[in-house]
Structure 1
């Protein structure tokens, strides 16, 4: 077994975050597959290129520190640009004591590895379902009592009884969402035509109410079917598109763009203990003001919302449904472009069960 252990090269190649080996002149000398995926360049194009020609950092202090050969760096939540694309990342730089001037840089997208269950998270997700179960029985009794009372009231007082029933129904709908959030049962997955699901979700959002927000489709028509639950995927997209529409409603020219594309690479599904290929990307972007900074790291948590009338369950449910499909979801803000992006990555139907 000792001889079968993977060597350092195989271990680095299997990492889900980008690793770059930099020489004293900040020239890239090695790049793992995750770096190719994150920076959208092949290893052949990366190796031999100067680091700051490949990527642009939004913080001049980081670029200055990189020029110090023995500097150690840890940066969180920094915007990195590679070509036209901006990504929010965490970055580290570690000098190699055995080789003066040489450094190892790691880059990971903010939220990468989010599919791992954190200690206590499973309990947190089940808590709403347990609470919902305890609430439902008394709710039914309140509603029944309200209906009985309404029959004995004078006409002028019946709106008060109707209000009781309406509020009970509203709470019941909230309880149903709480139960779904805590459910351990995932919808079965099957090959799904991605663009049929996206267009169905867009049609639902358009039908839901009048809005001046422009909904724009930017699809790659060549994409093959994804492995997903059609109903769950549509629900995810309806929530994201509706949120994006609400977020940019106050903009001068409100616009939501739904984009699909093929994104190569591996993203680890740590919950299942294996690497799952997630090459299909769906991005919902809006030109609203963005998420409040205090909420950025918590938007997928239950009961977190910036909406005055929101319950904070929509994005928590979205994350659960995406995870149930072995997918991944994250968000980022591109201040230069004035856009907020929510990105979903899903597996291909033909690659079901494929191992890295």
Structure 2
């Protein structure tokens, strides 16, 4: 029995020991779980604090970058570099803290932060290189804002996951603590030793918990320091929207101090819609607002908010971050205004780098060249615009590098391949170190100016030709006048058929020469003949008869004249010449025969048509269309066919005055001409003449030549032949004649015999005293003097008309005896 006691004791000891050991093992295991949970809780708090610290440091980096970009002050680079280093250190600390549960999130966060830091570094690098446009474009691209948004989203997700883990660990810690308490109580009753072990473990646990609380308190102190020292305004709100935290930066930005704002409504929440969004717990990122400081000053701010949640995930407040962006906003506004000014400029303005790549392209460049900004940026400017040899461009660039600027004319091409001419000004842009950086180009389109200059040169050339033609015409008319009058006198003297045939032929050729001179004058000076109301059908009828009599039979003629064709007001002879020139050109275009058609219709020109044809005006017109099936006009010369002396005919077969004279006559009648042609298919000329009111003026048939009644006529002309033949013609038809070779002689004769002289026939161009001065002197001598002015230049008719009422008529040289006698008879009567 005694031997069994030790055995029982031994068994009991071992049983107790086994139980104690088992209880100790269970208690130890429970205690270890509790410790692990508390460590995890402390770890979660540390992770949350480090995430907020990382975001804060990243904002400090961005603030330093923005400050440098906006002000250019390098003092902002020091806090920027420090915050950047601290941010990278925070990433390393987060990687260590989250090594067991958030590797994917921390890797993505590290990637986004690296991209954000790279973008910030890139803008600073561009700013330091004075590439302001690229820096501005990079800022305005929204890439940095999107990266920051992504970073906040990743950190938000990590914080959310960490809070979930924190809640789970807190519950696990609570359950473990309860089980441990029960186990410890049982162990205490069973074994003092286990109580000591439990006490030891509990003491250890309490110590670890105190350490966790100390860490949390330290983290809170760090967070408070960050809040108080942050350059960003940090505000905490109660669930009702009142301020519970207001840091010094918020006071500096908004103007209210802590005592004035705590427990008051946030002044920025006047916008009810924004207020509701924030109080509902919506996260807001970088919303830009305009608000007023306490002193009434208007400022621009950037506002970001995030909800504050308790352990049960209930919203118990709104954390708001406020940044003053007034300077940035003003700078951006200035940039926008400057860009807008460049865009409204009429000139094409662009910037190219030294590799000739386009980095800026304004609206004026879009209008001039047709290339949109997104199409032009990054393109090689010479490949895009220049059609002239590259060698000339390189010479221009060398001058630019040597002198800092260059200007000249360039021939370029637009987006559609159209050649344009620009007046180009280049300015070399240098960086802060004085090295060439880029080229500012301002181009003014002068294509239309060049065309106008060419037109002006043509007009000046035409004026010179007109002056020359006028002088020649005057001399030719002085030559033809005595010949024509002499022929008519000889026709009266020699009545045999042979003489009449010769004289008729001579008269016809003289008149033909006079008509040619008249055509030259009509082209050069816009000669105006007598205009009456007439019907185009009569002109076409005459032309049709001429075509049928003289044109080759291989040319078929078709006419189509509207039965109710309107009348026109014009010179029948000149319009006959227009139609004659058109049909002759049509004949020459069909050497092997073809179809010639002449049409005449009524046309109403409306506003829409005038917008397509600048020469047309709104109104009623008679349209005469001459169409042939000939060789056609090549497109490269169709714009030159109305130029004087331009012809594609062989030498001796065309003067180049036909179409030039025709269009001059048509325009002189208030009309215009349209041309349509296709090579090998034919041409169509449409002559538009304004319709006239009233009825057609009947052309008076030639009657008998009127004779005088012995009236005395003073003939004044410096050409002896003209004086003599005029004297002979007038005397033949019962007039008495006195002659004078110049104005001075004429005044002497008139002063002596003015009571006898019935009329003065006066040449306008004479030596010593010209016609105009002679007329004015004669009018002073006798206000009732009757004068007939005569000249080989049509312009002298207007000069004679301005001298006074004494000029009864004007006769162009050469004139027939019938025209002279009828004019003289009318003036005397």
| TM-score, scaled relative to structure 2 | 0.23
Structure with higher strand content: 1
Higher relative contact order (CA 8 A, sep 6+): 1
TM-score (norm: length of structure 1): 0.50
Higher helix share: 2
